[in-house]
């Protein structure tokens, strides 16, 4: 399988704090790769670097053969990033927001319509798309943002805690949605501290703690290796 994203020896310092101490992993085409780890492990930092928001202190990131330092614009063209805590313009209607974002990625009007149509299907907000974003609940906003991240069919979708703030039913829906999308050729890199969610979603996972990757592999493989019934127990054993 072709490698979409390759991260090698990534380091990041915030002043004297070493948030990432040299992490490496690969995301292959059409797979869902999950970063799991506790609060402050460095998940968001890793994803922000790949999304061109932060500059790494050291290490190399390659996406579709392009180097992050030399071609950040290539990353922005083909990567969609859903931040951990994100909002949309409160004064815009949901549908206008989708239109606004689609125009940055589409090459013509027809493609804008295609993107927006897809987003409508993904978010399932229906008539509420005609209301201003300011009137949406947290879950509705999250779905809108997820739809906008997936509507362009990016080569890689980076989703930082995609289900944060969603209730059980909505989380389930969103997970199904993400899973469905990879079947259409989109690769996904996501983070979560909900191990069960990651276990359900991911083809492969990396366990991250205090800026280091402890172990990685398929959920099944890891469970067998640590002789555990779920990833939570795997994680506890890996930390020790």
Ligand X SMILES: Nc1ncnc2c1ncn2[C@@H]1O[C@H](COP(=O)(O)OP(=O)(O)OP(=O)(O)O)[C@@H](O)[C@H]1O
Q: Return the ∠ at Cα 38 (arms to 76 and 213), rounded to 5°.
A: 65
Give the three-state DSSP class for 225. Answer: helix
Classify residue 41 as exposed, middle or buried by CB count within 10 Å of its CB (0-12, 13-18, 19+).
Answer: buried
* Binding residue for other proteins, selected from 11, 24, 54, 223, defined by CB under 8 A: 54
Which of ligand X, Mg ion, other proteins, none has residue 16 at its interface (CB below 5 to 8 Å by kind)?
A: none
Task: Find where tokens 């020790």 sit.
Answer: 240
According to CB under 5 A, which residues from 71 to 90 bind Mg ion?
A: 84
Which of other proteins, ligand X, Mg ion, none has residue 37 at its interface (CB below 5 to 8 Å by kind)?
A: ligand X
Which of Mg ion, ligand X, other proteins, none has residue 105 at its interface (CB below 5 to 8 Å by kind)?
A: other proteins
What is the Cα–Cα distance from 92 to 201, expressed in whole angstroms? Answer: 32
Which of ligand X, Mg ion, other proteins, none has residue 89 at its interface (CB below 5 to 8 Å by kind)?
A: other proteins
Residue 224 CB, nearest approach to other proteins (Å):
37
Q: Does 125 bind ligand X (CB under 6 A)?
A: no
Size of the site for other proteins (CB under 8 A): 27
According to CB under 6 A, which residues from 79 to 118 bind ligand X?
A: 84
Q: Does 88 bind other proteins (CB under 8 A)?
A: yes
* Binding residue for ligand X, selected from 4, 5, 7, 19, defined by CB under 6 A: 19
What is the Cα–Cα distance from 103 to 112, expressed in whole angstroms? Answer: 6
CA 179 to chain CA centroid, Å, is 12
Assigned token pair, 145: 């943002």
Interface with ligand X by CB under 6 A: which range of 42-50, 147-155, 172-180, 225-233? 42-50
Q: Footprint of Mg ion on this chain (CB under 5 A)?
A: 43-44, 84
């Amino acid at each position: 399988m072709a490698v979409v994203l390759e991260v090698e020896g990534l380091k990041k310092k915030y002043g004297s704090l070493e948030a990432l101490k040299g992490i490496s992993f690969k995301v292959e085409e059409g797979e869902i790769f999950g970063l799991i780890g506790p609060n402050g492990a460095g998940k968001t930092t890793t994803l922000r670097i790949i999304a061109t928001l932060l500059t790494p202190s050291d290490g190399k990131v390659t996406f579709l053969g392009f180097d992050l330092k030399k071609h950040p614009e290539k990353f922005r063209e083909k990567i969609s990033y859903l931040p951990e805590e994100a909002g949309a313009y409160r004064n815009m209607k949901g549908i206008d927001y989708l239109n606004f974002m689609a125009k940055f990625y589409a090459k013509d009007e027809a493609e804008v319509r295609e993107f927006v149509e897809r987003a409508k299907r993904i978010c399932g907000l229906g008539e509420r798309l005609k209301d201003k974003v300011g009137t949406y609940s947290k879950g509705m906003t999250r779905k809108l943002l997820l739809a906008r991240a997936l509507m362009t069919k990016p080569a890689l979708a980076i989703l930082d805690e995609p289900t944060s703030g969603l209730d059980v039913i909505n989380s389930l829906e969103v997970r199904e949605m993400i899973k469905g999308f990879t079947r259409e050729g989109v690769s996904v890199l996501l983070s979560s501290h909900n191990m069960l969610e990651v276990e359900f979603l991911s083809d492969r996972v990396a366990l991250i703690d205090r800026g280091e990757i402890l172990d990685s592999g398929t959920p099944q493989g890891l469970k067998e290796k640590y002789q555990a019934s779920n990833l939570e127990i795997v994680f506890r054993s890996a930390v020790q």
